Amino acid sequence: MKDLRRYLALKYIQYLVLSSSNTVSTLLGLLGSAYTMILLQSAKVSSKSTAVLISSLAKADILVFLSLVSDVVLGSFGAGVSPAASALVRILLTANAHLSCVLLSCVAFEAYLITFLPSESRPLRTVRNARLICRVIWMLVAAECALFLMDDHLRASGASAPSRGPLGLLFQLSSAAAALLRSLSYILGILLRIINVYIYYKIFFSMSPR
C-alpha cells in the first residue's frame, strides 16, 4: 500500500539519512508509527512477512514515546534526577535507533529477494520466519542495552565496584564489551546505510525502462 511505502520512506530518512534525530522527525515518526499500527490491523492489509517487519518497526517507536514521557517526568524533578534514570532515557533511544536501522535493513533485503529471487526466496519469506527474525532482533538489542546499563552503573559506582575476583573479572569483561559495542555502532551504522543504498539502487535500475 502507498501509505506503508510512505511510512518506510519516512523511517529511512529518519534513521538512515539524517545524521541525528530532531524534534520534527521524531514527532513525524511517532505519528507515522501510530497510524501504521492502526493500518496494519485493517483487513485490507494482507498478512505477509513484510507486514510483520513493518509492524515490528512501528512498535519500536513505543520506546521513543516512553523516553519522552520519562524525560518529562524526570525533568519535573530537576536536579534530583539520578544518573541511572538519565541513562535509562538514553538507552531507550539507543534501543529504538538500533531496532529501527536493523529492521529497515531487513525490509530492504526482503525487497531485494522479491525483486531478483522471487521464486527461490519464497520458502524463506514466510510470516513465521519474519516473526522469528523480529524476536531475535529485539532480544539482541535488549541484551545490548542491558550491557550498556550495567556499564553505566559501574561507571557511576566508581570505586565501589569490585576490582578483584570472579565478580571483578565479570565487570571488567562487561565494560570492555560495552566499549567495543559503542565503538562498532558508528561503523555498523555506516555499513547499513551503504547496503541499503546499494539495494535500492539495484532495485530502482532493475525496474527502470531500458
The Cα 115–Cα 109 span in angstroms is 10
Q: Report how many domains make up the chain.
A: 1
Residue 119 sits in a domain whose CATH number is 1.20.1070
pLDDT at 73 (0 to 100): 79
Provide the domain limits for residue 3. Answer: 1-207
pLDDT at 108 (0 to 100): 95
The Cα 203–Cα 197 span in angstroms is 10
What is the tens place of the pLDDT at every residue in 62-79?
A: 999 999 888 877 766 655
pTM for this entry = 0.89
Give exposure, 122-139, as e/b (b: 16+ Cβ within 10 Å): eeebeeeebeebbeebbe
What is the tens place of the pLDDT at every residue in 86-127?
A: 788 889 999 999 999 999 999 999 999 999 999 999 999 999
